[in-house]
């Protein structure tokens, strides 16, 4: 059922017109569902009376929330038929759950309104209570008088009884199968959780055992690099220091990833200066890489000089994104960092002028251990950085995405929610 394309009125206007018509009918219940949210946005008083709810209690629910658990499967099939039918219509008899724990049998007719792009906008369901009719048919006495005029009613009564009995037995079987599947899934989930905790503990032990000698190598190579007079030995010491620092970073990534897989880390939010954090990160990156050939352009809006977030986690996010931008930038390039306010979020963007990402690779970019290979330089790392970045952004309640044009560079964007700005009174 297509909605008119010319002078199309809003969803709320359609609801208002339909409800005005149906409010006059006190026998047939009606529910209007927004197909984008799949939530009930309007009901009439007849449906409230049938199910024992108030209107505001039904708003926001789905039609499946009101369906009897034993009839969910046929309800899904009913919904699919509405979408597939040429006239966007389907009709079934099923049970609806009441607020008091009981249920009613109802004849349910569903209609779907679509736009010209074949996208569903609204569905309208008309619900007629047929509990008494079904109860009468199931309880009708069997004819033993031999009166041919009653033989059809007798057959109907027997058929309904058998139908209901078969249906109950079938649903009991399905219920037992679902219960067995649930118990099996619960056992498997417990085994997986135990296995993941064991893996986390193993990773912690390995990281600890490797970091102990690494700390000694890092400090020793740093001292050697500073005191070595000969250029050759100074370069060797610097190479040892850079390699051990890189290995130390990889170990941190492994431990972070293992912890994130088992449980979400806790956030320790505080208020801090974002420019000071960025200056520190770039200074560290300059120490690890020779970034003299790369220009940094940093723009921070005045209203976001201070932000509220987990300082350590946000530092890891920015450190990984800037490190990634440096790795994929050419020998001379520009890295732009822009921080601005976007309603109740701080919007970060980190752009490079590197090789870019092919369209087919963008969907995999945040997967653990996935890496976009560079044709310009050999890259180090395990491919965990962006996966950790996404985890920490989502942990803050933000979102992250990437925009890239192959051969022209890449921009990573993410948001960190913030309290609303206080409006000063004059």
- Please state whether beta strands 120-129 and 294-300 pair in parallel, antiparallel, or not at all (unpaired): unpaired
In whole angstroms, what is the distance from residue 110 CA to residue 124 CA?
6
CA distances from 216 to 240, 284, 292 (A): 12, 20, 29
Residue 392 in this model has a pLDDT that exceeds 70:
yes
What's the whole-model pTM score? 0.46
Percent of the chain, pLDDT > 70?
Answer: 73
Encoded tokens for 260: 């994130």
> pLDDT grade, residue 290 (50/70/90)?
low
Output the pLDDT for position 276.
92
Q: Which of 20-24, 328-332, 344-348 has the lowest mean pLDDT?
A: 20-24
Tokens 């509990």 correspond to what residue?
Answer: 131
Long-range residue pairs from 119-122, CB within 8 A, at least 24 positions apart, any chain = 119/35, 120/35, 120/83, 121/3, 121/11, 121/34, 121/35, 121/36, 122/11, 122/14, 122/15, 122/32, 122/33, 122/34, 122/35
User: Which architecture characterizes domain 147-263 according to CATH?
Assistant: Orthogonal Bundle (1.10)
Cβ-contact 278, 298 below 8 angstroms: yes
- Name the burial class of residue 248, with classes exposed (0-12), middle (13-18) and buried (19+) by CB atoms within 10 angstroms of its CB: middle
Radius of gyration of the chain from Cα atoms?
32
In whole angstroms, what is the distance from residue 237 CA to residue 225 CA?
5
Q: In the chain, where are the structural domains located?
A: 11-139, 147-263, 269-417
Encoded tokens for 203: 């990773």
Output the pLDDT for position 200.
65
Tokens 């505080």 correspond to what residue?
Answer: 270
Percent of the chain, pLDDT > 90?
Answer: 21
Maximum Cα–Cα distance across the chain: 119
Cβ-contact 257, 384 below 8 angstroms: yes
Encoded tokens for 299: 């723009």
Output the pLDDT for position 288.
64
Angle between helices 151-227 and 131-139 (to 10 degrees): 130
147-263 matches 269-417 in fold:
no
Best-predicted range by mean pLDDT among 136-145, 177-186, 255-264, 391-400? 391-400
Angle between helices 231-262 and 151-227 (to 10 degrees): 160
> pLDDT grade, residue 81 (50/70/90)?
confident
35-38-42 Cα angle (round to 5): 85
Q: How crowded is the C-beta side of 252, counted as CA atoms within 13 Å?
A: 13
Q: DSSP letters of 157-180? A: HHHHHHHHHHHHHHHHHHHHHHHH
CA distances from 415 to 20, 349, 385, 397, 404 (A): 43, 9, 17, 8, 18
Q: DSSP letters of 208-266? A: HHHHHHHHHHHHHHHHHHHH--SHHHHHHHHHHHHHHHHHHHHHHHHHHHHHHHHSPPP
> CATH number of 11-139: 3.30.450.20, 1.20.140.10, 3.40.50.720, 3.40.50.300?
3.30.450.20
- Please state whether beta strands 89-97 and 103-114 pair in parallel, antiparallel, or not at all (unpaired): antiparallel
Residue 287 in this model has a pLDDT that exceeds 70:
no
Give the model confidence (pLDDT) of 191-204 as tens digits.
Answer: 877 777 776 676 66
Supply φ then ψ for residue 229, to 5 degrees.
-85, -40
Cβ-contact 278, 296 below 8 angstroms: no
- Please state whether beta strands 306-310 and 294-300 pair in parallel, antiparallel, or not at all (unpaired): unpaired
CA distances from 360 to 86, 328, 371 (A): 35, 18, 13
Cβ-contact 214, 244 below 8 angstroms: yes
> CATH number of 269-417: 3.30.1330.30, 1.10.10.60, 3.30.565.10, 2.40.480.10?
3.30.565.10
Q: For the chain, give me the number of helices (H) and strands (E)?
A: 12, 12
- Please state whether beta strands 269-273 and 120-129 pair in parallel, antiparallel, or not at all (unpaired): unpaired
Higher pLDDT, 156 or 361: 361
């Amino acid at each position: 059922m297509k909605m008119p394309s010319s002078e199309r009125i809003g969803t709320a206007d359609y609801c208002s017109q339909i409800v005005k018509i149906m409010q006059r009918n006190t026998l047939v219940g009606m529910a209007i569902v927004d197909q984008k949210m799949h939530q009930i946005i309007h009901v009439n008083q007849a449906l409230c009376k049938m199910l024992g709810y108030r209107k505001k209690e039904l708003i926001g629910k789905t039609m499946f929330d009101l369906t009897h658990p034993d009839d969910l499967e046929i309800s899904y099939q009913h919904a699919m038929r509405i979408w597939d039918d040429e006239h966007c219509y389907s009709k079934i008899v099923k049970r609806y759950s009441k607020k008091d724990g009981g249920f009613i049998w109802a004849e349910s007719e569903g209609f779907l309104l679509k736009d010209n792009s074949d996208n569903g906008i609204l569905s309208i369901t008309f619900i007629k209570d047929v509990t008494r009719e079904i109860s009468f048919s199931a309880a009708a006495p069997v004819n033993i008088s031999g009166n041919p005029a009653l033989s059809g009613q007798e057959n109907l009564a027997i058929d309904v009884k058998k139908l209901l009995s078969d249906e109950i037995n079938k649903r009991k079987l399905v219920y037992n199968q679902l219960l067995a599947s649930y118990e099996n899934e619960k056992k498997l989930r417990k085994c997986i959780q135990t296995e993941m905790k064991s893996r986390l503990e193993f990773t912690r032990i390995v990281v600890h055992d490797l970091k102990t000698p690494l700390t000694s190598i890092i400090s020793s190579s740093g001292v050697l690099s500073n005191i070595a007079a000969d250029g050759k030995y100074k370069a060797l010491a610097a190479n040892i220091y850079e390699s051990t620092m890189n290995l130390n970073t990889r170990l941190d990534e492994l431990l972070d990833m293992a912890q994130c897989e088992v449980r979400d880390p806790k956030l320790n939010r505080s208020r801090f200066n974002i420019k000071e954090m960025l200056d520190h990160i770039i200074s560290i990156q300059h120490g690890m890489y020779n970034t003299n050939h790369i220009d940094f352009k940093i723009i921070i809006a005045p209203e976001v000089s201070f932000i509220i977030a987990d300082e350590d986690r946000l530092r890891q996010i920015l450190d990984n994104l800037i490190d990634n931008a440096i790795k994929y930038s050419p020998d001379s390039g520009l890295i732009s960092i822009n921080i601005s306010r976007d309603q109740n979020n701080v919007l970060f963007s980190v752009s490079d002028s590197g090789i870019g990402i092919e369209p087919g690779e963008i969907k995999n970019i945040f997967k653990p251990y996935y890496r976009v290979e560079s044709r310009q330089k050999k890259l180090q790392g395990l491919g965990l950085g962006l996966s950790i970045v996404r985890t920490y952004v989502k942990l803050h309640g933000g979102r992250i995405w990437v925009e890239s044009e192959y051969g022209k560079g890449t921009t990573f964007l993410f948001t960190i929610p913030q309290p609303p700005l206080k409006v000063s009174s004059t």
